[in-house]
Structure 1
């Protein structure tokens, strides 16, 4: 998969999360998420037809899986968590964000993550897409993405879209009275968008992701 994506995107270096360099952004967790993946894979007929990505911060049906009790204890030290899903279609890196506290991801499908260093954004108020890296995540992989890592909506690897479980500290990404021009756009979410996202900028988002808009081509 990486080889074919690389051939179609010769100007973008696509890494694998199994590479040593990923350790600056997160780590692979050894949990068996097959039951969760089987549960969510049934939704492909729906998410593959979505015109864009859709994120649900917390889903009650996922809390029934014992895996998330284990993650709550071993990764979050018994802090309350939310277990959500981001699904749908996306080929672009239209923004980037960070949170306080790690994010645990489960790849229900293959997908790509565009990752960077939070310190660059905090120091400069912006980050160029050339300072970020694209990583391939194979279906079934469970990741801890550190809170020092910039990330955003996954990118699909084929025309069927993508599906990714998103575990965060409870309340993250929920609505607040955000101030125009502030990177704090939701509870525990610091976000900047690309200059191409004119509607979000008009609504007060910071245009802090610079450089050419990144698009990943696929078959």
Structure 2
């Protein structure tokens, strides 16, 4: 019982020390990974929104360019009949053109910002993956260190090995004692003796045959 108590106390004490050591480092790393994952997710969501805004700008610019062409065509058709109306059409065309130019500047800025954010997201995702891999590697190393440290308890292991030897000796003595007191079986002994004699006679016949051939 004392051996079991010492074994349990030693192993659990070492395990508690290893766990406390893991908790400090792993908690910091895990918190950092979670924070980075949250930031990357927010950046990815922002990038998705910017890409949707970019598509909306593209659609509005396309419509304004279509309107620009349409107002120009209207001015050309009514120029001969109604000059004032033709001038109003040209004013509308000019407004559409200015609005398209303004939106194009916004689109260019949006695309530049989206490109920078895309690079940040990709770098963040790469960094997150590397951190996750390194975290997994460090945890594996920590477990390996704990296993090797446990294996260095030479005195404790010697006690366990001695216990196994005593156990084996006791079982061997029990088996021998049971074999010694096993009841004899005359019938089995008779058959066994006859079988041994037959084997010996066969071996003797082989020797005699070899002698004749010589």
State if a TM-score over 0.5 links the two structures. no
Structure that is richer in helix per residue:
2
Query: Which structure carries more strand by proportion?
Result: 1
TM-score range, shorter chain: under 0.3
**TM-score normalised by length of structure 2:** 0.13
